[in-house]
Amino acid sequence: MKIKYILLPEFMQTKFPLVSEGGGSSYEKATFAGGCFWCMESLFKQLDGVKNVISGYTGGKTENPTYEEVCTGKTGHLEAVQIVYNPLVISYETLLEDFWKNIDPTDPAGQFVDKGSQYKTAVFYHNEEQKESALKSREVLAESGKFSDPVVTEILPAAEFYKAEEYHQDYFRKRVNQYKFYRAASGRDEFLNRLWRGKENIFEEKHKNYSKPADSELTKKLTGIQYAVTQKDATEKPFDNEHWNNKEEGIYVDVVSGEPLFISRDKFNSGTGWPSFTRPVSEQFIVTKEDKSFLMKRTEVRSRYADSHLGHLFQDGPEPTGFRYCINSASLTFIPKSHMQEEGYGKYLYLFEK
């Protein structure tokens, strides 16, 4: 399957000057400030067509600022990410769309739990075409009726960008537990899910392949246990399900939508009788929520676009994450590694090489 990335049709004709990175490939830069740069880096690094994302500081007056200096709010810098991307694979408008859908553009004081001028939002454009696209997309957002407060995110010319300290780079991968706890407590996901999940998109939907079919189609497509698990939050029997003891290399996707969820490399034998994983393929396709059913307090795991019930998340897993995603086989379709390319999941093959 091939995903087509579009924000608005008229934007697709915008052409940006290409910068050669060697080897015949051409890339462009995009710079966004969206509050905590850990969250922005984890978002953009998971997008197809993005070569690199660097966390850093920009928009201030101090040369080579440190994290401690920026945190005082006195240097004028914003925490930001600089993205190197291939415009033939992913458009600048798609990057803008993902940016808007992962921030609160109405907050002039920061983002979510993080307050201070260093956490304000901004789009830093690198040329006039980016400026025009950013202004147009902000206008669409402001006039969409999504927000009762005005959109205050600034559109600014790109300034000197200073790379943040090394321990900030890839923080969401280096310090998985700390990042997940910060993210859960920040209020960002709760806000974004309330605003966007399951609601009409003001931008053209780019995950058409991952939409949820009508219930009448689901009853035909799914088996009884698959429907009960994904649609009615049921739990299948342990040690008596399709994937609990599967040791073959490959990717596990949502049985309803095909969203990529987990890979065999992160699967382990938890002794529970259900497929267990240390991490998802991408946080882009996973949603967690509190589950107080059966007189227990647990963390439920659901797929983002199909809203399928998958299972539960526990904090008793092995290193490197310490997490156990306990997932029902009935919510998963397994695609062997040898078939991933032809089934449209070739971009995830790199995960088996790490």
Note the pLDDT of residue 138: 94
Pairing of strands 309-314, 110-111: unpaired
- pLDDT one-digit tens code per residue, 125-166: 999 999 999 998 999 899 888 899 999 999 999 999 999 999
Q: How many CB atoms lie within 10 A of CB 273?
A: 17
For the segment(s) 9-196, the CATH number from 3.50.50.60, 2.60.40.60, 3.20.20.100, 3.30.1060.10 is 3.30.1060.10
- CATH 2.170.150.20 residue ranges for the chain: 209-353
Hey, what are 320's tokens? 């490197």
- CATH 3.30.1060.10 residue ranges for the chain: 9-196
- pLDDT one-digit tens code per residue, 74-89: 999 999 999 999 887 7
Residue pair 202/304 in contact (Cβ under 8 Å)? The answer is no
Note the pLDDT of residue 105: 97
- Please identify every residue annotated as catalytic: 36, 326
Of 17-21, 254-258, 272-276, the poorest mean pLDDT is in 17-21
- Rounded mean pLDDT, 45-69: 94
- Rounded mean pLDDT, 22-36: 81
Helix axes 92-100, 37-44, angle to 10 degrees: 140
- pLDDT one-digit tens code per residue, 220-256: 999 999 999 999 999 999 999 999 999 999 999 999 9
- 38: left (phi > 0), else alpha (psi -120 to 50), else beta? alpha
Note the pLDDT of residue 22: 42
Classify domain 209-353 by CATH architecture.
Beta Complex (2.170)
pLDDT mean across residues, the chain: 88
